[in-house]
Amino acid sequence: MEDIGLWGVPLAILGGAIRVSTPFIFVSLGEAVTERSGRINLGLEGTLVFGAMAAYAVAVETGSPWFGVLAAMAAGAGFGLVHGWICSFPRVNDIAVGIALMLFGIGLAFFFGKPYIQPSAPPLPAIGFGDWSDIPQVRAALNVNVLFLFGAALALALWWGFKNTKIGLIVRVVGDSADSARAMGLSPTTVRLFATAFGGALAAIGGAYLSLYYPGSWNERISSGQGLMAVALVIFARWNPIGCFAAAMLFGGAGALGPALQSVGVTQGYYLFYAAPYILTLLIMIATSSPGRQLAGAPGELSITK
Amino acid sequence: MSTAVSVEAVSMTMRFGAFTALDDVSVKVPAGSFHALLGENGAGKSTLVKCMMGFYTPTSGQMLVDGKEAVIASPKDADRLGLGMVYQHFTLVPSLTGAENLVISRENAPKIIDWRKERRDLADFMTTMPFRIPLDVPVASLAAGEKQKLEIVKQLYLGRRFIVLDEPTSVLTPNEAEEMLGLVRGMTKAGDLTVLMISHKFHEVTSFCDDVTVLRKGKRTGSGSLGELDRKKMAAMMIGDQPIAALDSRSATPADAKPVLTVTALKAKDRTGLKSIAVDGLTVRSGEIVGIAGISGNGQKEFLEVLAGQRAREAGEVAVKAAPYASTREQSRKLNVRFIPEEPLRNACAPRMTVAENISFRTFDLNKDGKPVAWISARAIRTYATKLIEQFKVKTASLSSPIQSLSGGNVQRAVLARELTGEVDLLIVSNPCFGLDFAAVAEIRARIMKARNGGAAVLLMSEDLDELMELSDRILVMSDGALVYETPIASADVHVIGEHMAGHH
């Protein structure tokens, strides 16, 4: 085996970014759609965990990881519909319902997931973009899961769709001004219901990736708060799908810093490097916001007091 | 382009429970005419047009469109007949561009929008319009006048042949208003459009409209062509015989009047954080009213927030009677600085606290000699509030009702009661009459003038130029975050002021 020395660090970060970022991409894209319609869904962490469980269980039972992903999407859409339905009542607070549904989703996943901790499910396929190389690190870094490619394409499609499709424009109208939407004869509640369901389905794909590819097993510690972080990433990305993708990559890359340094023998401050993504997020959030002004790009209907 | 239609509402009555908002009102608007609907707040103008447009189902009454009976049960029915409405509060979506707003408002917007084709169609359509509006920038970045024009363009783009304009000029400069109304008038003259305009500005009605209908308390009190009616008659129809507070005559400001408020080289960030406001210098002397004109969003709000201590300043000095002023409670008490901000319920009240408590905010913790007290006396608060409520004619169910249950005019009266009681050396006022009726407006203006004549220095910010012209001794114009123009009232010209407001200098 050839030793590539310090080159291993950026390579490991790239590989890590691709591997770790996928759940963030899906959850943040889902949340971006939901928030663009004027609703916050904090429950995506629960949806993610339940999606991971549902995908794993269905993959075990049917032998096909793709059925698993579909099952996760259906479950996620279900959670989204419940959230959207409850929030459509007057004087119901998005945030409180979101937190309740997050805990509900996690609890339900643990309850149904108990029998699936032991059996192993078929993993999702990956494409070896690095197969031309003899260096194992390159091959490992460029072994890209199809869901990542799908996520990247989805980010582009959503970015395009917000500008160029009727549905995209309607979601933006509803999220920016419910009064205008009503004047146009649109029902904000219905649009938000579907946007929340769509967001839930995407978040559950993120969960399916966790249990069916990386780390690739179902247990009760499968998520380390990806669902919650992704919601923060949406704000950081200013509700732009391409921005969500970039933010997820950045976050994933920072997350890979610790293991990458460890692999080349840096062992000091090991746990500190694991905190890198959070420190990075905090720093960028502080640098890009200020108390004296509003957040640019925020959908007008988004409010924590609704 | 399609041609105008005639619209007639016959014997419209609308009851909300026991309350009759509209009582047997008929309006006839012939094709191609520009009709004005005059009336005070709460006179039933909005109810009438909402019944006509299908937002409300009237208790009784019917609609004739082009002489034929029409059933308008929902806004969609109105759409189908070519009837549309431009609201006072814009219904354009701020983060979408003009083009996006137009296309998405169309009933038959395509699932996937071919922007090249849409842009070409829009460009063709715009050549038939008398307005020029940039369609490729987000609506939020358009000036108010441009938004108003875009709203009208949108109605025409949707093929409407009868439109209702709800106080269309309330957010425009006088020049913008005249231009816009002139263009609309041209379109009605050409027979492209029939217009019903809700207004309470007599000068607009007399110079642009053909006919007028006046409402008061839900009843039609008069109508006719503008040729037969003068302002006095219209005013009498509008307000009836209720007493209107007279404005004190202006006593001359003494030549040696001391400066009370001095602002030097003030800088602060605006709400977006991207632009800043910069007030190089401003002095308000005792016994004068200095008016600040400007279109909303040009930094007046931020300036007031800095003076009120709601917004941090980045640089500069604010001094009251030569003492540095940092907007603390102690300083404002010692220097007799009082505020009447806009949206008083939000900016000057604790909405869920009682009327008595809100009125006592400045004094509840002081005893008769102005010394701090250890125990707050609920009885003293009630006695004090009772006195002021009577003096300022605040209509409230009880002293312990939450102040948010009061009507807009009465909230404003309660705030005035609190702020104008005791010695006032500096009074800072912003849009004090927004959304209030005739009588309340007259009373509030009279009180401000009285405070001025009593020796207070008054800084008055308003979006209503008529109000500034009536009250101010000097008028300054704020545009793009800076004071750009100053004129004494004697030589003030509404058009010159308007041009500075629009930033044309």
Segment A216-234, tens digit of pLDDT: 899 988 888 888 888 888 9
* Contact: A165, B112; criterion CB under 8 Å: yes
Is some CB atom of chain A closer than 8 A to the CB atom of B115?
Answer: yes
Q: Taking CB atoms and an 8 Å cutoff, what residues of chain B touch A176?
A: 93-96
Q: Is A167 on the interface with B (CB under 8 A)?
A: yes
Mark whether B229 and B266 lie in a shared domain. no
Task: Please classify residue B163 by burial: count the beta carbons closer than 10 Å to its beta carbon, then call 0-12 exposed, 13-18 middle and 19+ buried.
Answer: buried
Tell me, yes or no, if B92 comes closer than 8 A to chain A by beta carbon.
yes
Does pLDDT of B74 surpass 90? no
Q: What's the pLDDT score for residue A266?
A: 77
**The domain containing residue B407 runs over which residues?**
345-422
Q: Are the C-beta atoms of residues A23 and A48 closer than 8 Å to each other? A: yes
What are the pLDDT digits (tens) for B300-325?
888 988 998 888 888 999 999 999 99
Same domain (yes/no): B303, B387: no
For range A150-177, the mean pLDDT:
95
Asked whether residue B464 is assigned to any structural domain, the reply reads: yes
pLDDT reported for residue A113: 93
pLDDT for A161 equals 95
- Give me the CATH number covering residue B18: 3.40.50.300
Chain B residues with CB under 8 Å of A290 CB are 269, 273
Q: Does the pLDDT value for residue A235 go beyond 60?
A: yes
**Residue B436 and residue B494 in one domain:** yes
For the stretch B61-89, what's the b/e string if a residue is b when 16 or more beta carbons lie within 10 angstroms of its beta carbon?
bebebeeeebebeebeebbebbbbbbbee
The answer to whether residues B464 and B411 belong to one domain is no
Residues of A in contact with B103 (CB under 8 A): 169
Quick count: other Cβ atoms within 10 Å of Cβ A118? 9
Burial tier of B59 (Cβ tally within 10 Å: 0-12, 13-18, 19+): middle
Nearest CA-CA partner of A160 in B108, B121, B112, B137: B112
Residues 293-332 on B with a CB inside 8 Å of A are 311-312
B82–chain A nearest CA distance, Å: 15
Report yes or no on B247 lying in a domain. Answer: no
Do B308 and B170 share a structural domain? no
- Structural tokens at position B210: 């053909």
B359 lies in some domain: yes
Is any Cβ of chain B less than 8 angstroms from the Cβ of A300? yes
pLDDT of residue A143: 87
Looking at residues A245-267, what average pLDDT do you find?
84
Scanning the structure block, which residue is given the tokens 């970015």? A159
Q: Would you say residue B377 lies in a domain?
A: yes
This complex has an ipTM of 0.86
Q: Quick check: B1 pLDDT over 60?
A: no
CB-based contact A246:A28 (threshold 8 Å): no
Q: Which residues of A touch B273 (CB under 8 A)?
A: 290, 292-294
Where are any strands of DSSP class E within chain A? 126-128, 143-145
Yes or no, beta carbons of A292 and B269 under 8 Å apart: yes
Min Cα separation A37/chain B (Å)? 13
Indicate whether B311 and B388 sit together in one domain: no
Structure-token pair, residue B490: 């004697």
Q: Most B CBs within 10 Å: which of A184, A186, A290, A295, as the mutation test of the B interface?
A: A184
Q: How far apart are CA B217 and CA A216, in angstroms?
A: 72
Q: Is residue B252 part of a domain?
A: no
Residue B222 β-bridge partners: B214
pLDDT 10s digits, A18-46 = 988 999 999 999 999 999 999 999 999 99
From B76, B89, B271, residue closest to A185, measured CB to CB: B76
Neighbours of B364 (CB within 10 A): 17
pLDDT at res. A98: 94
pLDDT digits (tens, 9 = 90+) for B423-460: 899 999 998 887 677 777 888 899 999 999 999 999 99
Question: What pLDDT does residue A155 have?
Answer: 97
Residue entry with tokens 């200098």? B505
Q: pLDDT digits over A51-66, tens only?
A: 999 999 999 999 999 9
- Is the Cβ–Cβ distance between A84 and A98 less than 8 Å? no
Show the tokens assigned to B75: 């806004």
Q: How confident is the model at residue A150 (pLDDT cuts 50, 70, 90)?
A: very high
Burial pattern B212-246, b for ≥16 Cβ within 10 A else e, equals bbbbbebebbbbeebeebeeeebeebbbeeeeebe
DSSP for B289-357, written as a single string: EEEEE--TTSSHHHHHHHHHTSS--SEEEEEETTEE----HHHHHHTTEEEE-SSHHHHT--TTSBHHH
Cα dihedral A174, A180, A183, A184, rounded to 10, equals -60
Closest CA in chain B for residue A166: B111
Q: What is the pLDDT of residue B199?
A: 84
Considering CB atoms only, which of B89, B104, B270 is closest to A169?
B104
CA angle B348-B352-B355, nearest 5°?
A: 70
Least CB-CB distance to B112: which of A164, A180, A300? A164
Q: What is the pTM of this model?
A: 0.78
**Which residue among A177, A290, A293 places its CB closest to the CB of B93?**
A177
Please provide the average confidence, as pLDDT, over all residues in chain B: 87
Chain B partners within 8 Å of A179 (Cβ): 89, 91
* pLDDT over threshold 80, residue A304: no
Cα separations (Å) of A125 from A147, A284, B367, B417?
Answer: 9, 34, 79, 74
Close Cβ partners of B106 (under 8 Å, ≥ 6 residues apart): B157, B158
Q: Do B91 and A169 touch (CB under 8 A)?
A: no
Number of domains composing chain B: 3
Question: Do B180 and B222 belong to one domain?
Answer: yes
Of 1.10.15, 3.30.450, 1.10.3470, 1.20.140, which CATH number belongs to A5-119+144-288? 1.10.3470
Q: How many helices (H) and strands (E) does chain A have?
A: 14, 2
Chain segment A86-126, per-residue pLDDT in tens: 999 888 899 999 999 999 999 999 999 999 988 889 999 98
> Mean pLDDT of all residues in chain A?
89
Give the gap in angstroms from C-alpha A191 to the nearest C-alpha of chain B: 15
With vertex at residue B444, the alpha carbon angle to CA B443 and CA B449, rounded to the nearest 5 degrees, is 95
Of A166, A184, A292, the CB nearest to B312: A292
**Is B492 found in the same domain as B353?**
no
Count of beta carbons in the 10 Å neighbourhood of residue B125: 14
B400 and B305: one domain? no
Query: Which one of B83, B93, B269 would you mutate to disrupt binding with A, by most A Cβ within 10 Å of its Cβ?
Result: B93
In this structure, what token pair is assigned to residue A293?
A: 């002004």
